[in-house]
Structure 1
Amino acid sequence: MTTATGIGSLPGDDDRAYSEAVRTVLGELPDLPHLPELPGRGMTASMVGRALAVVSGLGADLQPAGWRLTDAPGVDHRRARSLLAQDLDQVEEQGHGLTGGFKVQVTGPWTLAATVEKPRGDKVVSDHGARRDLAQALAEGVREHVADVRRRLRDVDRVVVQVDEPALAAVVGGGVPTASGFGRHRRVDLPEASAHLEWVMEAISAAGGEPWVHSCAADTPWGLVAGSGAVGLSADLSLLGAADLDVFAEALESGRTAALGVVPSTEPTTPPTDAASVERVLRWLDMLGLDHESVSGSLVITPTCGLAGATSDWSRRAMSLSRDVALRL
């Protein structure tokens, strides 16, 4: 059976909005609800702040230029951890008795390395040792995170961990800007890029989770992602090019998951119908040379990206439309 889920982020800027977001996700996406993210609450609730809240053994704090690694957790790092714990409390309370699957999201090692600064400035991606340490700390933290989710949602038998890597293409393509903004960091070689992803995928699997990788950025190297051990590939369908067809076809044929972003993340002038979105997915499968019935159980329908920039009404509509498309498929 084709299912539906969300990417992660939703609109809202306070605790009351978060409680409502959890209620909405549990109601609109019953087959695979996810842990909502409300970046409108500030940097401690952003995708990077959330990931640093998960990272084990490293400290961080907010600086004018953004997050920076430190010798010990600063006040903002502690707030990020506290906020994540509070959000999980909400899910535990409202999701009591939840069965089936549940999805959480974490920023991947390369997007973190391209975003977070070293203690003395410039991005972690500029230093081979620093980016290795950050990736390993993330892997260990994710392992603990999955265990915590399983403890809180005892009746859930499937925990999906979506690793968000929107900066992966820039990292391997040499497109991450330096601190001055006038240059670009050297590209990371593909074997190293793959190895760091593999550490995180292996940690998720070892904890009993199901590792996915998501990116709604153009030129994501999906072949590298598929080779890293990801069980699910999650992408904006409109950004998948001809070079990606074989990767997704092989993933579906091997029983892995393809999460397809087909519902706009902000309200368009003419919202798509579920029938039109279903037809779009079927045409794409035909391009892959795959029979819909044989792979329908491996398909997941999602919005094209996070919904933080949407209105509350459209975010709810996008989730219900994703569910309707999945049901029709």
Structure 2
Amino acid sequence: MTCYNLGDLPGTSLAEAGDVIASETPLRTIPRLPARGLGSDAVGATLALMPELPIEKGPRSWRLTTRPQILTRRVWDRTERDLDQLEELWGEVEEVQFAVMGPWSLATRIELSGGHRVLADFGALRDLTEVFIGGMGRHALELHRRFGARVSILIEEPDLNSLAAGTVKGTSDFDVIPTVFPKALGERLHAVVAGLRDAGIESVRLNQLGRHPRVDVARICAADGVLVSRSAIAGTAMLDEVGQALSQGITLGVGTIREGDFLDEDRANPRRHAVAVARLFDELAIPREQLTHAEIVPAAPLNGSTLLRAARALACARVANEMLEKDAGDL
């Protein structure tokens, strides 16, 4: 049980973002600052860790190129400078986490040089998956070298529902993207999770916040944790999926914290979130002793307002998690 940022934060100052993370979260997640412009989004930042796949900005999306462009080199350089700055700011820490876009969603959002989605080419999808595992493994080793820390990864897969529903459109009427069934989605991610663990990554979390969560895929791929919006855990089928995930040993990250939340003097705000998660476990008929398998997390990335509001929300999340750990029976 711990508190952590989801990756994205507001502003353009890495030093300020790093200071907020160090002050408010026990598990330090490398900050991503989309406001810094092109290449700072989830796709660009993830591809920066995969130098075998140089990119350029195409007319519709990111596009793979045969050799590095100026943009690619800029993103690589900025990633290196960011780590230098965080290493100086944080020093040695117990655990560090980094957030990336997962291979399925990357494959829907990147085009090959000919203009087709990577997803439409089985060989390209296979290569992307292999390069993803290698790139994330190398990055984890670099983080361990710099911070002396255990390394965790938060994989964002926002496109799983579209893939499972067969609603991902090709780049033309002749470019048909077939439905990818949950079993296939989970099995590819299972190979990814296994590869990341072999590379020394200690914990793999699957981020499914802000949408109908594919808890079934998280179970198939045997992720260590799955992040789900509290509002999405409703109905018998979803309650059963969540209960089975918990019984499988998967940690549940419950997204309840909003940007307007803050740590008030009598701690009523964090207590409200801790009570909501405790009552969810009651609804699942799971003993409150098992609340150690839950984490209270932001319901969405905290980059929509100011860094001060994000810091206050993370402080609220931190105390709410402490309440789950220490006062579960009294909530």
TM over 0.5: yes
Q: How does 1:1-329 map to 2 (within 5 A)?
A: 2-13=1-12, 17-29=13-25, 31-99=26-94, 101-154=95-148, 156=149, 158-179=150-171, 185-209=177-201, 210-242=203-235, 243-264=237-258, 266-267=259-260, 273-293=269-289, 295-329=290-324
Contact 1:61 1:68 in 2 (8 A): yes
Q: 1:223, 1:244 within 8 Å by CA — same for their partners in 2?
A: no
1:84-114 per-position Cα deviation (integer Å, ceiling 9, x unaligned) = 2222222211111222x22111110011011
RMSD: 2.2
Give the superposition deviation at 1:182: 12
Contact conserved, 2:278 with 2:291, CA < 8 A, in 1?
no
With structure 1 as the length reference, what TM-score do the two structures score?
0.90
What secondary structure does 1:275 align onto? helix
* Partners of 2:110 and 2:117 within 8 A in 1: yes
In 1, are the aligned partners of 2:10 and 2:303 still within 8 Å (CA)?
yes
- Shift in CA distance, 26/220, structure 1 to aligned 2, threshold 3 Å: same
- Give CA deviations for 1:47-80 in whole Å, capped at 9, x if unaligned: 0001111125222212232210111222212222
Per-residue CA shift, 1:195-233, capped at 9, x if unaligned? Answer: 321232112211221111112242232112221121111
Which AA in structure 2 matches 1:6? N
Separation in structure 2 between the aligned mates of residue 81 and residue 229 of structure 1, nearest angstrom: 31
CA 1:241–1:181 in 2, change beyond 3 Å: closer, same or farther?
Answer: farther
1: CA distance between counterparts of 2:205 and 2:118? 23
The aligned amino acid for 1:216 is L
Q: Distance in 2 between matches of 1:197 and 1:79?
A: 30
- TM-score calculated relative to the size of structure 2: 0.89
Contact 1:136-1:199 within 8 A present in 2 as well: no
Contact kept? 1:108, 1:163, Cα under 8 Å:
yes
Q: CA deviation at 1:116?
A: 0.8
**Residues 181/306 of structure 1: CA separation in 2 closer, same or farther (3 Å cut):** farther
Shift of the alpha carbon at 1:150?
A: 0.8
Aligned residues: 317
Contact 1:216/1:305 (8 A) holds in 2: yes
Structure 1 window deviating more from structure 2 (189-198 vs 51-60): it is 189-198
